């Protein structure tokens, strides 16, 4: 653990770099000097950053391996789409900013509620068992979303399970997912969501609750003997992460014209986990960098055509090997003085 001062500096640099990047990108968008591909990826990048940071709260800070994070994103995405469609069709709310805001908040709330429901049975388990059960829940969510039909008629929402005969305009069409979604997400909204996520996660980590979460991770027995209710704090991390994933989902879902439930499969959960592991478990700025790089990378590799995903995988292996190489670690340590304590551990191991 870094000292308080080093932590403050890291956080300040993280916020600063993100704000600077946002300003640069906004200027570039206004100048039209940004490539079309990159521009189209800005909102997904924001969503994946939020996903990676929130999963890092569960995996890194709370120390529980969750393999169903995409499930919460799915819940958030489809709730956001339904809420947005409901507000537009039922109440004629044309203001896209307000609609987006309400959709994101609703997506977060609903995903948070599901996080709590799933967390109650899941967090009784530990280690591998917890991972397997979260994986199962992710798949259950995907398959349930495959069967849900929703329509809006006037101001009423109709829900059907395996039953597509609903009155009014269809918002969710079972396995076809959401069709003809009005894409209302903006890069600014995505950036704000990233900042909100960072504030929530970083402030939580550096507070009484965050210390309790980490204490429960580091030494369960000692934490309990100090009067820390382990389940409560594991729940806190899990539900917060689920709510953030839901918000990311709403942002993502409302940036697409169509979205199918099978998009949020086990693969996506693993993808987010890759961001977290590559960026460093428990390392929040690392998650941001990894999520950004690994979202851009597959697109920039398009010139390789059929070999694209192969190249992606090989690059991933190389990055992993390099970042665990003692010589590279040593170089990092010399460049960044605050990382001395990592060196001590490497020597001990």
State the residues that interact with other proteins by CB under 8 A: 1, 3-4, 199-200, 203-204, 207-212, 214-215, 218-219, 221-230, 236, 341, 344
Between 298 and 343, name the residue whose CB sits nearer to other proteins: 343
Least distance CB 70 / other proteins (angstroms)? 25
Least distance CB 8 / other proteins (angstroms)? 13
- Other C-beta atoms lying within 10 Å of the C-beta of residue 59: 25
Euclidean distance between CA atoms 52 and 55, whole angstroms: 5
Between 162 and 221, name the residue whose CB sits nearer to other proteins: 221
Yes or no: say if 343 and 2 are a contact pair by the CB < 8 Å rule: no
- The strand pairing partners of 37, in sequence order, are none
Between 239 and 250, name the residue whose CB sits nearer to other proteins: 239
Sheet holding 169-173, edge to edge: 156-161, 148-153, 169-173
Least distance CB 284 / other proteins (angstroms)? 14
Least distance CB 210 / other proteins (angstroms)? 7
- Other C-beta atoms lying within 10 Å of the C-beta of residue 179: 14
Least distance CB 280 / other proteins (angstroms)? 14
The DSSP symbol for 125 reads S
Euclidean distance between CA atoms 347 and 349, whole angstroms: 6
Between 3 and 143, name the residue whose CB sits nearer to other proteins: 3
CA dihedral sign, ordered 139, 274, 288, 44: negative
Between 157 and 236, name the residue whose CB sits nearer to other proteins: 236
Yes or no: say if 299 and 291 are a contact pair by the CB < 8 Å rule: no
């Amino acid at each position: 653990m870094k000292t308080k001062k080093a932590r403050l500096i890291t956080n300040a640099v993280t916020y600063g770099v993100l704000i600077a990047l946002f300003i640069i990108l906004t200027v570039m968008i206004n100048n039209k000097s940004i490539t079309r591909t990159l521009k189209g990826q800005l909102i997904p990048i924001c969503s994946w950053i939020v996903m990676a940071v929130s999963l890092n709260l569960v995996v890194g800070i709370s120390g529980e391996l969750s393999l169903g994070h995409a499930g919460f994103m799915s819940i958030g995405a489809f709730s956001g789409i339904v809420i947005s469609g409901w507000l537009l069709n039922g109440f004629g709310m044309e203001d896209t900013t307000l609609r987006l805001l309400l959709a994101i908040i609703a997506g977060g709330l609903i995903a948070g509620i599901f996080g709590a429901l799933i967390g109650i049975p899941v967090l009784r388990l530990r280690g591998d068992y917890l991972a397997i059960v979260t994986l199962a829940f992710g798949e259950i969510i995907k398959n349930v979303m495959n069967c849900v039909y929703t329509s809006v008629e006037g101001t009423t929402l109709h829900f059907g399970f395996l039953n597509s005969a609903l009155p009014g305009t269809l918002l969710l069409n079972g396995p076809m997912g959401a069709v003809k979604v009005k894409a209302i997400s903006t890069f600014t909204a995505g950036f704000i969501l990233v900042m909100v996520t960072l504030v929530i996660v970083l402030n939580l980590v550096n507070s009484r609750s965050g210390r309790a979460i980490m204490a429960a991770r580091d030494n369960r027995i000692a934490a309990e003997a100090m009067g820390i209710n382990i389940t409560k704090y594991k729940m806190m991390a899990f539900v917060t992460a689920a709510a953030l994933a839901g918000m990311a989902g709403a942002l993502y879902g409302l940036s697409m014209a169509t979205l199918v439930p099978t998009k949020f499969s086990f693969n996506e959960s693993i993808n987010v986990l890759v961001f977290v592991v590559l960026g460093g478990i428990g390392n929040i700025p690392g998650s941001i960098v990894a999520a950004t790089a690994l979202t851009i990378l597959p697109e920039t590799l398009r010139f390789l055509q059929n070999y694209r995903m192969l190249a992606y995988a090989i690059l991933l292996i190389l990055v992993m090997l390099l970042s665990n190489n003692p010589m590279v670690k040593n170089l990092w340590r010399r460049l960044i003085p605050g990382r001395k304590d990592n060196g001590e551990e490497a020597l001990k191991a």
